């Protein structure tokens, strides 16, 4: 089809035509809101590097989650910031841990909201790594039991779904087996399957107080240069029993989202991470971009690449734009 016989602009000339042929649509149903839970009451600590985001005590957490649910957002992802840390991350799997308490309260106050819990140890260890440390080495196999115990404690508290983000080899099968043994076979696993060792996580580590005290996470998170490896990681997690797989970060890895979507037939999630959020907010504050338009274009790009679900700190703002 060549000009002048074919004129693509014919179907762009008004909003009605553009709506009729739109290939990708962003829905409130696609959004998951990450939230940071802290101990206490009446706590709403601003996160300086993430304007509009807060560390929330359970009472404020319930209010924010309720607002999201009223807008049609179906799910939240809970991250916990404990009052104590130690080498074995004991507050991660404690019955009265912050995520466990927040989950129970959310399911009590907003019962139809899907509560997904992040399963990792980095917020709970005094060294800030996602696994048990022997010397200065992360011990993969010694970590698996603690991750599974954490996931089980979340399920017992009422979590609708658990989401291991640690990137230890074999953790999906370990979690699946323990959940099944304790009659939680209906609790799905959303695996951070292709999680890259990214510089875009900086603001999150401030928000969750989870920066490693030594070294970095390159021995367990993926090299940003690799894409074939992402397919191997995803395939392994699918075979181990993951129900949803995730690519993280989202925008710098749209090619990975696309490849994963082409390779597997499970739902694909993408995490629009803290650094991506912070850059848009900073550019908006400087007057360099229209923040709302860049937000929506960014989320649409993630959806267009193949993501079925998008975890984003913009969830409430985006939902308001979608439904207005």
Does 84 qualify as catalytic in the annotation?
no
Rounded Cα distance between 160 and 147, Å, is: 17
CB-based contact 288:282 (threshold 8 Å): no
Does 213 qualify as catalytic in the annotation?
no
Q: How far is CA 232 from CA 191, 217, 236, 263, 264, in A?
A: 14, 19, 6, 10, 11
Q: How far is CA 122 from CA 20, 125, 157, in A?
A: 47, 6, 20
Check 85, 101, 248, 303 and give the catalytic one. Answer: 248
Check 195, 281, 293, 303 and give the catalytic one. Answer: 195
| Look-up of token digits 């696993």 | 189
Classify residue 236 as exposed, middle or buried by CB count within 10 Å of its CB (0-12, 13-18, 19+): middle
Rounded Cα distance between 20 and 120, Å, is: 44
Which residues are the active-site residues? 195, 248
């Amino acid at each position: 089809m060549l000009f002048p016989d074919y004129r693509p602009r014919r179907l762009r000339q008004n909003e009605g035509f553009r709506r009729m042929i739109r290939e990708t649509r962003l829905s409130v149903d696609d959004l998951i809101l990450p939230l940071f839970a802290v101990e206490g009451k009446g706590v709403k600590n601003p996160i300086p590097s993430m304007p509009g985001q807060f560390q929330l005590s359970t009472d404020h957490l319930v209010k924010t989650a309720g607002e999201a649910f009223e807008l049609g957002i179906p799910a939240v992802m809970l991250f916990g910031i404990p009052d104590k840390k130690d080498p074995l991350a004991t507050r991660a799997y404690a019955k009265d841990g912050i995520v466990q308490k927040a989950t129970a309260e959310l399911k009590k106050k907003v019962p139809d909201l899907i509560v997904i819990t992040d399963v990792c140890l980095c917020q709970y260890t005094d060294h800030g790594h996602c696994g048990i440390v022997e010397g200065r080495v992360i011990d993969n196999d010694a970590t698996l039991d603690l991750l599974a115990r954490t996931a089980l404690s979340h399920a017992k508290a009422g979590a609708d779904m658990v989401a291991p983000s640690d990137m230890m080899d074999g953790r999906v099968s370990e979690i699946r087996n323990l959940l099944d043994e304790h009659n939680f076979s209906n609790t799905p696993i959303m695996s951070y399957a292709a999680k890259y060792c990214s510089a875009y996580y900086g603001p999150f580590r401030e928000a969750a107080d989870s920066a490693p005290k030594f070294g970095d996470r390159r021995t367990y998170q993926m090299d940003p240069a690799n894409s074939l490896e992402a397919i191997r990681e995803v395939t392994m997690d699918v075979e181990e029993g993951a129900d949803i797989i995730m690519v993280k970060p989202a925008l710098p890895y749209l090619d990975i989202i696309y490849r994963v979507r082409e390779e597997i037939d499970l739902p694909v999630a993408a995490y629009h991470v803290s650094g991506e959020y912070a850059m848009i907010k900073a550019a908006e504050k400087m007057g360099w971009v229209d923040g709302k338009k860049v937000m929506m274009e960014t989320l649409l790009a993630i959806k267009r690449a193949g993501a079925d679900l998008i975890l984003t700190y913009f969830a409430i703002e985006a939902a308001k734009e979608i439904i207005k």
